Structure 1
Amino acid sequence: MAQGSSATPQTTEADRNPEATGEVASSIVVTGSRIRRPNLEANAPITTISGEQFFETGQLSVGDTLNELPQLRSTFSQQNSTRFLGTRGLNLLDLYGLGTQRTLVLVNGRRHVGSDVLSNGVSPDTNTFPTDLIERVDVMTGGASSVYGSDAIAGVVNFVLKQDYEGVQVRGQNGASKYGDAGNRYASILAGKNFADGRGNIAINVEYAQSDDFYGSNRPTMRQNNAFIVVDTDPAGTANGSDGVFDRQFFRDVRSATISLGGQTGIFQSAGNAACGRDAVGAAFVCNMLFQPDGTLVPQTGERIGLGPNGNYVGGNGTSSREGKLLALSPNLERISVNLMGHYEFSPSFVPFWEAKYVRADAYGSQSGPFFSQGTTLGDPGGRERIRLDNPFLSDQARTLLTQQLLATTVNANTGAALTAAQLDAQRAAINAGTFRFNLRRNWVDFGIRDEAIRRETYRAVVGVRGDFNDDWNYELSVNYGEHREKNVVKGNVNVQRYLLGIDTTRDAAGNIVCRSKLNPAGTVDYGADAAILAADIAACVPINPFGQGSVSQAARNYVLMDTVATGKIKQFVASGFVAGDTSAWFELPGGPVGFSVGGEYRREKVYYDLDELTQQGYAFYNAIPTFRAPAFEVKELYGEISVPILKDVPFFKELTANASGRVSDYKGATGTVYTWGTELTWTPVLDIRFRGTYNKAIRAPNVVDLYSEQSQNFAPAPNDPCSLRNIGTGSSYREANCRAAGVPTNYDFVYTSSIELISGGNPNLREETSTSWTVGGVLQPRWIPGLSLSVDYFNIKVDDVITAPSAQQILNACYDAPNLDNPFCGLFTRNGATEGPSGEAAYQVLQGSLQQTTLNYAKLTAEGINAELNYRHDFSWGSAGFKTVYTRMIKRNEYLNPADPSFRNQILEELGDPKNQVNFNGDVKFGKLTIGYQMRWIDKMYLNTYEDYNSVNGLPPQNADYASLKKYPDVFYHDARMGYDVTEKFNIYVGVDNIGNRAPPFGLTGVGAGSGIYDVRGRYGYIGAVAKF
């Protein structure tokens, strides 16, 4: 706190203090090269964050602090890490939104074992990095595979740790939000000792950090669900997708029409009946009724909004899905780390060194909420997820009301499908007999929240030797081994087979409520295809009361709930070595000696992931994921660099230097041998200004997860069915004819309200991704303003053959938008016929679990923009002052993901999470013992939905110009303040407040999505800390 930001884009903290790099004072090694340089400048654009800056906010996560830089996207921050199973607590870095797997993260210029077992297996969790041991972090833009190998496509983030640390430092910090939650605690001890007249050093760092989980129910702006709701649809063929009426309006206190806490049933109505009203376009709303805590049944109240058949409510007696722990804003994370570093110089040519670390991170909490069921969620072939009218737990009052409403409808009460006269008679007969099964839509809070408890352990050791010889040559040999282990226990998961057995109840001859399967085991569907388990589950079955709240007995909970366990491991072994030097002993060019380095590297990685047997067999209410034990990933590489100083100290050429690098990599498997290279040019006409440019060809080899992940059950967000009446006119000119050819009738208008089940997995035949990137810019350091520097750099990154899996939406669209149905995408799913499907699907709906998804090399990504930095630091007679301003203007950010049309551009820029402009300002003023600091972040406006809604792309007109009553989320300013005081030369105390204005995510956003994670959810946040040195 007593010092502000002093790093500049071309001159790092390590540059100013050569001892911090562990090199001799006459030469410097900068990120992006292994050649020592006589000057202080990097050739590639680099933004540097000093280690002290990580304590200038109330953030405890290194990744969250870095994500505030305009170059990084909050794709996987602390607050949005709960989006997927097994990822809570992870913090992964993503340069320019090109993907965490395309940002190479290094520690002291070396690879670090990954932490993301399920997604890519290569991205390190920044929570494993020792905050107090960080000297600086270099963020480099552009490809660097020729220097560092695979994955350096968007750029490199290099964590440089402190070297030769001497003394003892103790630091403590504590903080909480204005709401009294989101507390965090941090404690660190850093100790180091030089010995043998400075030839040796050993340092140890022990850190503890803990952040509390917190929930939407703790936030006044999130206790109720405020959201944009669809209220209008545009007829097919409407110009610009606009009929002059906004499709979405913003409502406050929105309540669900498809689920509740105690049980909800919705009875579909015919278009001619509409007993519960119609939407704005005339469609009949479903008649909803709610089970009260005591099991009585009442109509759902509130103002009906949205589009039928379900719509939404404003106010009333329904659920907002924000109660209690239903909306998790950030997980609980506890971290303990131990780092040991050292080296000893036997002679300048023989300096052994070592690094070792152990990190244990425990993440708790859930955004999954409780188990939920909506009548067809589980896809049970026996239809047992729906409740029979003669269920003995159903009260007479509820049965009477429900029977009356069911008999009044003239369509399929559960799906809205039209019925023939005979079918209607059969439905009414089943209702009167009590055998009819109705949808029960419920968040099962009585089962508790499905909390995840994840323990991640990271071990890493680096052992090597380095040295100088022949005056101007140096070398390094090292072995780097890292291992990530994790164990994920999901508490309160539901055994699906036991749930289906338990809710299907009846009375025995004595009048006791029993599971129906005990009386008729032959009529039970074997959910897990294991007769022995089914028999045991039937024998142990405990009836479950599905109506109301607090009605589930402890015996029923014990029967249906189970803890599921998953374990994973990533192993990484890297052996590398290089030798570097220059030609000063033989010859020099007009600009000086030619510098060079040559080296080699061998890397081997292994990933596995195991789940408990019941989960693998599909009994758990999570994806049925098989054990993943992939073949080892291996690569052997040779690389080299050369730096040619063409001119020096002549008029208009203070410096002119050209650099080149190359690497040949031999990958095991389909990737084979690949080549990468890069060039750089630096021109300094006069001392005050310097121009620089780079061009790089980089690659990302498919990782173990890309190649070998097992084909397994997965779920995709609810797609828009291209054959639905409301979507038929939004595709190609072939779409309608293809839908008719597929047998879908003209009146089909199905709307997905929940995710769609699919089968996804890896592809062992994948090739490498390739990229080209180039940067050009300059640095101004005017001598007449000491301490001031300005850098401006243009960057352009293009990634081809991107490894991705077509989304469910893309597969469906590609099938029906092609000239005919004879295309590969139509074979990747199956549609239902004219009757209800095996898992309760509506007529003509895509069958659950039929859609197949695998990874392919077919997509393209682009990013283009300008990075600018203005830095200043100066000492005055009264003290010192300085600031650092980082600005990024994105010019393009596009994705080409349409498998049917590779040239079809999807503009990401200006959509949520990818603003066009972003600024980060950090400044401080020091008066004697007092330091006052201020930080500001500005995030530009972003569209509510897609750029294409309002703008012409791909030669097409705007797709939905009346998407919502608000076009863009407003721009946002965040203001932070801090103050530090040096009580003595070795003891400093500091206090700070983040988000002084208490800005919450705008217009109902929660901040837990991939895009909305760019916004702060903690609100105003205060912290206090102290540092003591001995």
Structure 2
Amino acid sequence: METIQAGRLASTDTLVRLLSGASLLSAAIVLALPAFAQDAAPVATPAEAPVDPAPAATTADPAAPVDPAAEAASDAAVRDIIVTGSRVQANGFQNPTPVTIISSTDLSTKAPSNIPDALNQLPQFSNSTSPTKSETRFSVTPVIGNFLNLRGLSPRRTLIMLDGVRVPPTSFDGSVDVNTLPQMLVQRVDVVTGGASAAYGSDAVVGVVNFVLDKKFEGLKVTAQSGISTYGDAASYRLGLAAGVSLMDDRLRIIASVERYDINGLANNDRPLGGQQHCTAGTGTAANPYRTIPDCRFNTASNGGRTTGGGGLNNYVFLPGGAYRPFNAGGAGGVGGDGGLIDTDTTITAPLRTMQGFGRISFEATPDITVFAQAAVNQSDAGPLRLPDGHYAGQSTGLTIFQDNAFLPAGARALMGTAPSFQYSYIGNPQVAEELGGNTLDLQDARQRTRSINFIAGVEGKFGDGWSWNVNYVHGGSQLTARSRETELPKLAAAADAVFDGNGNVVCRVTLTNPGLYLGCVPINLFGPASASREAVDYVYGVSRFRTKNLMDMGSVNLSGTLFNLPYGPLSISVGGEYRKQTLEQTSNADPAIAIDRTGLPGAPASITRFQLTNAASASGSVSVKEGYVEFVAPLLARLPFADLLELNAAGRYTDYSTSGSVKTWKLGLNYKPFADLRLRGTISRDIRAPSLYELFAGPSNSVATLADPHTGVTAIATTSVVSNSALEPERGLTKIVGLVYQPSWLPGFGLSIDAYDIKITDAIVASTAVTNVQLCEASGGTGPECALVLRPLPFSDRSAANFPTLVLSQPLNLADIHQRGLDIEVGYRFDGLGGKFDVRGFANYVPTLDQQQSPTQPVRHYAGYLYNAKLRGSISATYSSDAFSLNVQERFTGSYKMPAFEGASVYADHGKAPNQGYTDVTLTFYTMERKGEFFINALNAFNVKPPLLNASAVPDLSYPTVKQTYDVTGRYLTAGFRIRI
């Protein structure tokens, strides 16, 4: 969901309840944080002591004497940590753009599985895509990896960086799977929660996530762990090794790492709510609201087959052994009766395996020049994803059975009378077939693999009084390969059309009418739930494949330093330029644009595709981008009464796309410290997201669908085509942020930040449907931009039936407006006590406004507080640490929302609200070898909080009956392991 409206901010009482936590376990421990890091302190790495929040120079009395050596040492320490919010600033404390900084130690404590899973526990991220959070019905969605979704405004609007350098895309939609980044050597992650296109380039409309490596790591680090759920499944393990060495008096540095992570998936029947055949009935109106029904079945199909039409055979069901009788639809909503059931062994969380390797070498050629090269390689595999098989009458996957079918019982044929055929709805269920000792159509399965490489080489140096420069070259490439074993619909149509040949043998009709078309066709008997032969089942199954290649080559140069001194400090500046070229190539063995030869298949519908689920289009294209930027920081006032600091931060970037021309982005930011303890900040920025190559160059995907045309009043089959749009232009975002950072001198170790933000995205890229295009064109009186997508044989003024559309296009357009307003709160407190250290950190995110207008002719829809979009989310963590052990407790809150997709969308009778749920995570760590070794035990969802019953599908057990994007379906998960650093 990429959407967004206004309301009042949460009450103080609500925020206090959220941040105080619902768990007694959380309340028992004073909360903590390795370092309060949102825009505050450089974060301590595992080998470092905590760093005080502010450099001494920012709080010093201007009249006090200054020790030049101490000041230089302090400045050098600060410059060792470059925070992502600006290319000029030396640390996050002075940055006007909010930056949340989380150390790798804190991340591994939150979620030992991987860093992306830990990041997704922050309330700033919502509706991210991952194997445990995403629906896994189709292999054409990138479920293989972890795609971070900042603000819930789509992963494509968040720029992913590694050490300040753009990471090449890994998916066909242009997004980046952050599981592919090397995790063993990550020192911290900087999350810029505001627009940053002027400083870092396209796609930073909502923000930036920068993974910062420990490039000076020395020694050896080993990680080994294993995990399992409280139900004895979803077993996982992780192994990692990192090494670093410094040679030639620290002039030559080499670091490297390898790691592997593996976790098993879960099936529907592995959890309590699975296999209970829940479905949602009703139409969503006030008169007939949606309601949850258990033990419901398909009322249009059965596991043995159900007929529609066919004279006297209409509405019959076939039973084991080929018996048949009138179909029993069961009770209200399809409870009981002869309706079909889906195999409960379908996947609800996908298995995942990742393997990563990383190496970096740097050499100090002179005291002022360093050359380096690094490479990261990755392979990620997901699957198999087990998917149901079903073929329904009247749809593209339906079957037409003719009266002369060789497997049709004679009595059933007699019931047909003069009817030539009937439509047949069939659901293959291996569980049912196994119980009957026969065969049926199998579960379909899908697998995905991503391989990527990210190579960076460069030179960096310094000169003069504080000037630094760098030149970089990046080559990145990824290949996503997807394969799905599923029904080949033309083969199924051929096999189901079984007849007798002249010798009394059962054959496929096509072998008689078009012998060369489907060689080796094996007739299939679908009359009854276990009637098919193994040979026939194997024949109708095939493997759909598509492969997506992304390549990126980029060169950049950057220069930063001090131009001159102003009355209250130096004017710092950063300038640079960048050139990059990105290419996309996608190939498929099931391109929908390639027509299926229906010769000899009289029962095949005109809309038939090669495979039931996965028919990916081909795509090919490239874009080149030239960019130049400048950023500066100017101190306007300093060390004055009520003006301890007043600082201006400004940036501008010029970007030229080979596809859409030039665009300008900019940022203005202001830091104001009325006194040492309080800092006020504000930014306004113009940001962009360029269309992905898939949106620009994907091939057409043709199909047919029933269309109710409001212009002619005709309801008929229309041809539709999903096409790309090479005329797309970049989206434009305008972000405004105002906030404060309070670090009181009277309470050392405490920090509080509050930021209010407002994001407006215009010309947002959205793809409309054929139905929407026809309706919007009609509403505009034939003048709207959607009318160009509705092709009619006659002028728009003609309303006769002859003017029914000949083709309706669906393509991404720059038509939508998106608006989000929210509030971020972060609090941290660190103090000593009980022979150790206490740390606290809490986050809250409140979103009262989440609106989207699909096009200028459509109404504004309000999404805040509706499906997946909780208005209020938060987390709070606590740590007590001593020389011998540490104990961390975290409480996460999902927030609540209403189940309709947006305000006024539908009415629910008994499951209309997704409740706020709290999850408690506990990590206990024991230290050995002077803290060089540690053994840890982690419990995620320690109290095994079960997800609520929130079914949103009309198909029984098609999805696990809860909202996986919000709630934990795995249950309590225990992980034990050790880490050694020597």
**TM (normalized to structure 1)?**
0.81
- Whether 2:820 is the aligned partner of 1:863: answer yes
Q: In the aligned structure 2, how far is the partner of 1:890 from the partner of 1:101? A: 20
Q: What is the one-letter code of the residue matched to 1:114?
A: P
Deviation string, structure 1 residues 444-482 (Cα, Å, up to 9, x no partner): 753323222222111111111111211311111111110
Aligned with residue 69 of structure 1, among 114, 118, 122: 122
Q: In the aligned structure 1, how far is the partner of 2:250 from the partner of 2:647? A: 35
- Whether 2:629 is the aligned partner of 1:639: answer yes
Instruction: Kindly state the Cα deviation for residue 197 of structure 1 after the two structures are TM-superposed.
Output: 2.3
- Whether 2:540 is the aligned partner of 1:560: answer yes
Q: In the aligned structure 1, how far is the partner of 2:34 from the partner of 2:951? A: 32
Instruction: Kindly state the Cα deviation for residue 942 of structure 1 after the two structures are TM-superposed.
Output: 0.8
- Whether 2:420 is the aligned partner of 1:435: answer yes
Q: Secondary structure at the match of 1:810?
A: helix
Instruction: Kindly state the Cα deviation for residue 824 of structure 1 after the two structures are TM-superposed.
Output: 6.1
Q: What is the one-letter code of the residue matched to 2:657?
A: Y
Aligned with residue 144 of structure 2, among 89, 96, 103: 89
RMSD of Structure 2 on Structure 1 (CA)? 3.3
Instruction: Kindly state the Cα deviation for residue 965 of structure 1 after the two structures are TM-superposed.
Output: 3.8
Instruction: Kindly state the Cα deviation for residue 974 of structure 1 after the two structures are TM-superposed.
Output: 1.3
Would the aligned equivalents of 1:655 and 1:682 in 2 still touch at CA under 8 Å? yes
Q: In the aligned structure 1, how far is the partner of 2:960 from the partner of 2:740? A: 38
Q: In the aligned structure 1, how far is the partner of 2:872 from the partner of 2:107? A: 23
Q: Secondary structure at the match of 1:52?
A: helix
Deviates more, 1:803-812 or 1:646-655: 803-812
Q: In the TM superposition, what are the counterparts of 1:855-1004 in structure 2 within 5 Å?
A: 855-898=812-855, 900-901=857-858, 904-949=859-904, 962-985=907-930, 986-1004=932-950
Work out the percentage of aligned pairs sharing the same amino acid: 28
Would the aligned equivalents of 2:308 and 2:422 in 1 still touch at CA under 8 Å? no
- Whether 2:737 is the aligned partner of 1:775: answer yes
Instruction: Kindly state the Cα deviation for residue 605 of structure 1 after the two structures are TM-superposed.
Output: 0.4
Q: Secondary structure at the match of 2:107?
A: helix
Aligned with residue 104 of structure 1, among 153, 159, 165: 159
Q: In the TM superposition, what are the counterparts of 1:359-374 in structure 2 within 5 Å?
A: 359-366=378-385, 368-370=387-389, 372-374=390-392
- Whether 2:114 is the aligned partner of 1:114: answer no
Structure 2 CA distance for partners of 1:329 and 1:743, relative to 1, 3 Å:
same
Q: In the aligned structure 1, how far is the partner of 2:137 from the partner of 2:733? A: 29
Aligned with residue 369 of structure 2, among 332, 339, 350: 350
What is the aligned partner in structure 2 of residue 409 from structure 1?
Answer: none
Structure 2 CA distance for partners of 1:578 and 1:942, relative to 1, 3 Å:
same
What is the aligned partner in structure 2 of residue 135 from structure 1?
Answer: 187
Q: What is the one-letter code of the residue matched to 2:731?
A: E
Deviation string, structure 1 residues 149-194 (Cα, Å, up to 9, x no partner): 1111011111111121111111111112222222211110011112
Q: What is the one-letter code of the residue matched to 2:345?
A: K
Aligned with residue 323 of structure 2, among 296, 299, 316: 296
Q: In the aligned structure 2, how far is the partner of 1:991 from the partner of 1:892? A: 40
**TM (normalized to structure 2)?**
0.84
Deviation string, structure 1 residues 39-83 (Cα, Å, up to 9, x no partner): 843321111221123322456243332222111122412221635
Q: In the TM superposition, what are the counterparts of 1:27-42 in structure 2 within 5 Å?
A: 27=79, 28-37=81-90, 40-42=93-95
What is the aligned partner in structure 1 of residue 970 from structure 2?
Answer: 1018
Q: What is the one-letter code of the residue matched to 1:858?
A: L
Instruction: Kindly state the Cα deviation for residue 563 of structure 1 after the two structures are TM-superposed.
Output: 2.0
- Whether 2:632 is the aligned partner of 1:579: answer no
Deviation string, structure 1 residues 646-698 (Cα, Å, up to 9, x no partner): 122222222111011011111112x2111111011001111111111111011
- Whether 2:549 is the aligned partner of 1:569: answer yes
Structure 2 CA distance for partners of 1:364 and 1:38, relative to 1, 3 Å:
closer
Aligned with residue 468 of structure 2, among 453, 469, 474: 474
Q: In the aligned structure 2, how far is the partner of 1:845 from the partner of 1:23? A: 78
Q: Secondary structure at the match of 1:345?
A: strand
Instruction: Kindly state the Cα deviation for residue 334 of structure 1 after the two structures are TM-superposed.
Output: 1.0
Q: In the TM superposition, what are the counterparts of 1:476-495 in structure 2 within 5 Å?
A: 476-491=470-485, 493-495=486-488
Deviation string, structure 1 residues 616-647 (Cα, Å, up to 9, x no partner): 555333455443221x2101111111100112
Deviates more, 1:1010-1019 or 1:772-781: 1010-1019
Q: In the aligned structure 2, how far is the partner of 1:438 from the partner of 1:182? A: 41
Q: In the aligned structure 2, how far is the partner of 1:858 from the partner of 1:705? A: 18
What is the aligned partner in structure 1 of residue 570 from structure 2?
Answer: 593
Instruction: Kindly state the Cα deviation for residue 195 of structure 1 after the two structures are TM-superposed.
Output: 2.0
Would the aligned equivalents of 1:762 and 1:854 in 2 still touch at CA under 8 Å? yes
Structure 2 CA distance for partners of 1:303 and 1:440, relative to 1, 3 Å:
closer
Q: What is the one-letter code of the residue matched to 1:454?
A: Q
Instruction: Kindly state the Cα deviation for residue 88 of structure 1 after the two structures are TM-superposed.
Output: 2.6
Instruction: Kindly state the Cα deviation for residue 549 of structure 1 after the two structures are TM-superposed.
Output: 3.2
Q: In the aligned structure 2, how far is the partner of 1:1010 from the partner of 1:566? A: 31
Q: In the aligned structure 2, how far is the partner of 1:918 from the partner of 1:332? A: 28
What is the aligned partner in structure 1 of residue 204 from structure 2?
Answer: 152
Q: In the aligned structure 1, how far is the partner of 2:278 from the partner of 2:102? A: 38
Structure 2 CA distance for partners of 1:778 and 1:819, relative to 1, 3 Å:
closer
Instruction: Kindly state the Cα deviation for residue 325 of structure 1 after the two structures are TM-superposed.
Output: 2.8
Instruction: Kindly state the Cα deviation for residue 3 of structure 1 after the two structures are TM-superposed.
Output: 10
Aligned with residue 690 of structure 2, among 693, 701, 721: 701
May I ask how many residue pairs the two structures share in their alignment? Answer: 889
What is the aligned partner in structure 2 of residue 338 from structure 1?
Answer: 357
Instruction: Kindly state the Cα deviation for residue 914 of structure 1 after the two structures are TM-superposed.
Output: 0.9
- Whether 2:387 is the aligned partner of 1:387: answer no
What is the aligned partner in structure 1 of residue 396 from structure 2?
Answer: 378
Instruction: Kindly state the Cα deviation for residue 899 of structure 1 after the two structures are TM-superposed.
Output: 5.1
Instruction: Kindly state the Cα deviation for residue 398 of structure 1 after the two structures are TM-superposed.
Output: 5.4
Q: In the aligned structure 1, how far is the partner of 2:672 from the partner of 2:75? A: 26
Instruction: Kindly state the Cα deviation for residue 399 of structure 1 after the two structures are TM-superposed.
Output: 5.3
Structure 2: runs of 5 or more not aligned: 1-30, 52-73, 431-439, 597-609, 794-800, 953-958
Aligned with residue 711 of structure 1, among 683, 686, 700: 700
Instruction: Kindly state the Cα deviation for residue 579 of structure 1 after the two structures are TM-superposed.
Output: 0.8
Would the aligned equivalents of 1:76 and 1:1010 in 2 still touch at CA under 8 Å? no
Instruction: Kindly state the Cα deviation for residue 143 of structure 1 after the two structures are TM-superposed.
Output: 1.3
Would the aligned equivalents of 1:760 and 1:852 in 2 still touch at CA under 8 Å? yes
Aligned with residue 527 of structure 2, among 547, 562, 578: 547
Structure 2 CA distance for partners of 1:319 and 1:831, relative to 1, 3 Å:
farther
Q: In the aligned structure 1, how far is the partner of 2:913 from the partner of 2:643? A: 48
Would the aligned equivalents of 1:680 and 1:694 in 2 still touch at CA under 8 Å? yes
Q: Secondary structure at the match of 2:935?
A: strand
Q: In the aligned structure 1, how far is the partner of 2:78 from the partner of 2:359? A: 27
Q: In the aligned structure 2, how far is the partner of 1:124 from the partner of 1:887? A: 26
Aligned with residue 677 of structure 1, among 663, 666, 688: 666
Would the aligned equivalents of 1:58 and 1:1023 in 2 still touch at CA under 8 Å? no
What is the aligned partner in structure 2 of residue 627 from structure 1?
Answer: 618
What is the aligned partner in structure 1 of residue 679 from structure 2?
Answer: 690
Q: Secondary structure at the match of 1:540?
A: coil
- Whether 2:239 is the aligned partner of 1:259: answer no
Q: What is the one-letter code of the residue matched to 2:744?
A: P
Would the aligned equivalents of 1:912 and 1:1011 in 2 still touch at CA under 8 Å? no
Q: In the aligned structure 2, how far is the partner of 1:845 from the partner of 1:970? A: 51
Q: In the aligned structure 1, how far is the partner of 2:841 from the partner of 2:34? A: 6
- Which has the bigger relative contact order, CA under 8 A and spacing at least 6? 2
- Whether 2:498 is the aligned partner of 1:505: answer yes
Q: What is the one-letter code of the residue matched to 1:993?
A: A
What is the aligned partner in structure 2 of residue 517 from structure 1?
Answer: 510
Q: What is the one-letter code of the residue matched to 2:395?
A: T
Deviation string, structure 1 residues 335-378 (Cα, Å, up to 9, x no partner): 110011232223332011222111011221225433x3113333
Q: Secondary structure at the match of 1:537?
A: coil
Structure 1: runs of 5 or more not aligned: 234-241, 270-274, 276-285, 306-311, 404-430, 522-533, 724-737, 833-843, 950-958
Instruction: Kindly state the Cα deviation for residue 880 of structure 1 after the two structures are TM-superposed.
Output: 1.2
Q: In the aligned structure 2, how far is the partner of 1:784 from the partner of 1:201? A: 43
Structure 2 CA distance for partners of 1:898 and 1:253, relative to 1, 3 Å:
farther
Q: What is the one-letter code of the residue matched to 1:541?
A: C
Instruction: Kindly state the Cα deviation for residue 845 of structure 1 after the two structures are TM-superposed.
Output: 15
Would the aligned equivalents of 1:19 and 1:163 in 2 still touch at CA under 8 Å? no
Structure 2 CA distance for partners of 1:786 and 1:558, relative to 1, 3 Å:
same
What is the aligned partner in structure 2 of residue 56 from structure 1?
Answer: 109
Instruction: Kindly state the Cα deviation for residue 829 of structure 1 after the two structures are TM-superposed.
Output: 5.7
